[in-house]
Copies of this chain bind each other. A is one copy, B any other.
Amino acid sequence: MHRVVISNGVFNGLSGLNVNPLHLLDKVRIVLSHTSHPGNIGGAARAMKTMGLDSLYLVNPRFFPDKEAERRATGALDILHKAKVCDTLDEALSGTVLAAAVTARQRDLSHEVFDGRQGATKLLDLAQKDFVALVFGTEMSGLTTLEVSKCQIIIHIPANPEYSSLNLASAVQVMAYELRMACRDLLETPPASPTLTLHGGGMAATFDEIELLYAHLEQVAISSGFLDPQEPKRLMQRMRRLFARARLEKEEVNILRGILSACEKRM
C-alpha cells in the first residue's frame, strides 16, 4: 500500500504527517442493532475484514457468541472475538462524532440523506479526527424511529424499489466497500486510466513494426486469393482499425508475422 503525504485539503488536521488514508478505517465503527440471525453477524465481520475495517459493535444481539456466527466469519474470527456487545445504542455510539443510519428504504426527510458513496466520503472526512459509526438495524424491520433519531444522517443504499431488502451482511459489505473506495480516492495519485495502458506489460510494438505487419498481412491476403488488388475496398483500413484498438506488443506482431510466413511457405 502506498503512503502519501497529504498536506492540505480534507487532511488539514494531519498536515505534514505521513498519512495512509486506509488508517481512517480504524475510526469507523460498524454497529449492528438487535440482530436476529447470528450468521449475519459472522457475515458482517467477514465483509468488514475484506475491506480493512475491524471495529464491530453489537447492540443486544439475539444470539452471541454463536457457532453459526463463527462459521460465517471464516477468516474474520478476530473481529468477532473483539466485538463489543452493548446493551443500548447509546453505549455503542459513545465517543462518536457522526453516526449514519443505513437503510435501503426511503425514509421520511427528517435527516439529511446521502447515498452510500457520498455517505462514505462524509464519514471518512470526520474520521480524520474522531470516531464515526454506521448503524444497521434488524433483518426484518431495520432501524426503529428512535434509533434513527440517535443518528445524525441517513445513508440510503440505492436499490430496486420493488425489492430493496438487502441481506444485512451484504449491506455491510456494500458500505465497507464504499469506505475502502473512498480511502483510495483520497490517495493523491489516482491509478492511471486503464484506457491508456491497453497492452499487458510487454514491450509495445513500434510504428514501423506494425506497418510491416500490415504490409505482410495485405500481401498474404492477396497471394491467398482472398483480396483482389484491383478492388481492395476497405479491407486494410478495417484491419488497421482493429489492430490500432489492440495496441500491439512486439511479441504479438512476431507471432502474427510468423503465422503469415508459415502460410506463405506452404502456398
Query: Once the chains bind, are A262 and B75 in contact (CB under 8 Å)?
Result: no
- The complex places the Cα of A171 from the Cα of B138 at a distance, in Å, of 22
- Tell me the chain A residues, 175-199 only, with Cβ under 8 Å from chain B: 177, 180-181, 184, 191, 194, 198-199
Dominant secondary structure at the A interface: helix
A262-B225, A265-B224 as given contacts; A166 in contact with B238, CB under 8 Å: no
Beyond A43-B167, A167-B169, 4 additional pairs, beta carbon < 8 A: A50-B160, A200-B241, A217-B259, A242-B248
Number of A interface residues at 8 Å Cβ cutoff, please give it.
77
Q: Is A263 an interface residue (CB 8 A)?
A: yes
| Chain A contacts to B: CB under 8 angstroms | 1, 43, 46-47, 49-52, 72, 74-76, 104, 109-118, 157-161, 163-167, 169-170, 173-174, 177, 180-181, 184, 191, 194, 198-201, 217, 220-221, 223-227, 235, 238-239, 241-243, 245-249, 251-252, 255, 258-259, 261-263, 265-267
Q: A114: which B residues are within 8 A, CB to CB? A: 194
* A235 → B minimal CB distance (Å): 6
Q: Which residue of B lies closest to A164 (CB)?
A: B50
In the assembled complex, the Cα of A245 lies from the Cα of B202 at a distance in Å of: 14
Copies, count: 2
Chain B residue nearest to A52 in the complex (CB) = B160
A261 cross-chain contacts in B, Cβ below 8 A: 226
Q: Judging by beta carbons under 8 Å apart, are A165 and B263 in contact?
A: no
Q: Which one of B165, B167, B242 contacts A246 once the chains associate, using CB atoms below 8 Å?
A: B242
Assess whether B75 is in contact with A163, with CB atoms less than 8 Å apart.
yes
**B47 touching A225, Cβ below 8 Å:** no
Q: Say yes or no: B43 contacts A224, CB within 8 Å.
A: no
Determine if A226 and B165 form an interchain contact, defined as CB atoms under 8 angstroms apart: no
Name the B residues within 8 Å of A238 (CB-CB). 251-252, 255
Q: Which of B49, B161, B200 contacts A163 (CB 8 A)?
A: B49
Q: In the complex, what residues of B have CB within 8 A of residue A247's CB?
A: 245
Would A51 and B180 be within 8 Å (CB), given that A224-B266, A246-B243 are in contact?
Answer: no
